[in-house]
Chain A
Amino acid sequence: MVEFKEVEGYDSLKSELKSLEKSDKPVFVLFTGSKDSSGKSWCPDCVTADPVVHASVKEKLSEGVFITCQVGPRDFWKNQSNPFRTDSKLKITAVPTLIHWGQSNRLVEEQLFKRDMVDMLFED
Chain B
Amino acid sequence: MRATLMTAMIRTGAKQCCPYAACSSSRSVAYYSKSAIDTNSNYDLVVIGGGSGGLACSKEAADQGARVAVLDWVAPTPHGQSWGLGGTCVNVGCIPKKLMHQAALVGNHLADAAAYGWQLPKDHHVPHDWNTLKNAVQDTIKASNWVYRVQLNSKKVDYFNALGSFLDSNTIKVTDKKSEKTITAKYVVLSTGLRPTYPNIPGAELGLTSDDLFSLKKSPGRTLVVGGSYVGLECAGFLKGLGLPVDLMIRSIPLRGFDQQCANLITDHMSGEGMNILWRCSPLEVVEAGNDQKKVTWLSDDGKKESQVYDTVLWAIGRQPRLQPLNLQAANVQLNQKNGKVIVDDEERSSNPSVFAIGDIAQGRPELTPVAISTGQLLARRLFAKSSRLMNYDMIPTTVFTPLEYGCVGLSEEAALKKFGEDECEVYHAFYGPYEYTIPHRSSEQCYTKIIALRDDPKTVIGIHFVGPNAGEVTQGFAAAMTCNITIDQLQSTVAIHPTSAEEIIKLRITKRSGLDPRAVGCCG
Contact residues of A with B, CB < 8 Å?
48, 52, 88-93, 103-111, 113-117, 120, 124
Contact = CB atoms under 8 A, between A and B. Distances in A.
B6 A120 contact: no
Interface in B115-165: 139, 142-143, 145-146, 149-150, 153-154
Contacts of B10: 106, 108
Contacts of A93: 7, 11
A91 B27 contact: no
Interface in B1-40: 1-4, 6-7, 10-11, 14, 26-34
Contacts of B145: 104
Given A104-B139, A107-B150, A108-B14, A115 B6 contact: no
A104 B142 contact: yes
B4 A91 contact: yes
19 contacts: A89-B3, A90-B3, A91-B6, A93-B11, A104-B6, A104-B145, A104-B146, A105-B146, A106-B10, A111-B14, A113-B29, A114-B26, A114-B30, A115-B33, A116-B31, A116-B33, A116-B34, A117-B153, A124-B146
Nearest to A59: B33
Given A113-B29, A114-B30, A88 B150 contact: no
Nearest to B23: A110
A93 to B, nearest CB: 5
Contacts, number: 67
Main secondary structure of the interface of B (DSSP, over half): helix
Main secondary structure of the interface of A (DSSP, over half): mixed
- 5 smallest CB-CB distances across A and B, nearest first, come from A104-B143, A91-B3, A104-B142, A115-B31, A91-B7
A111 B10 CA distance: 11
A108 B154 CA distance: 12
B32 A116 contact: yes
B97 to A, nearest CB: 20
Contacts of A90: 3
A89 B149 CA distance: 22
Contacts of A109: 14
Nearest to A52: B29
Nearest to B145: A104
Given A90-B3, A91-B7, A106-B6, A116 B153 contact: yes
A120 B30 contact: no
B11 A113 contact: no
A108 B10 CA distance: 8
A48 B11 contact: no
Nearest to B142: A104
A110 B27 contact: yes
Given A108-B14, A116-B33, A120-B149, A88 B27 contact: no
A109 B28 CA distance: 12
A123 to B, nearest CB: 10
Given A114-B31, A116-B153, 11 more contacts: A48-B29, A91-B3, A91-B7, A106-B6, A110-B26, A110-B27, A113-B29, A114-B154, A115-B29, A116-B30, A116-B31
A29 to B, nearest CB: 13
Contacts of A108: 10-11, 14
B30 A113 contact: yes
A124 B147 CA distance: 13
B2 to A, nearest CB: 7
Contacts of A114: 26, 29-31, 153-154
Given A113-B29, A114-B26, A88 B2 contact: yes
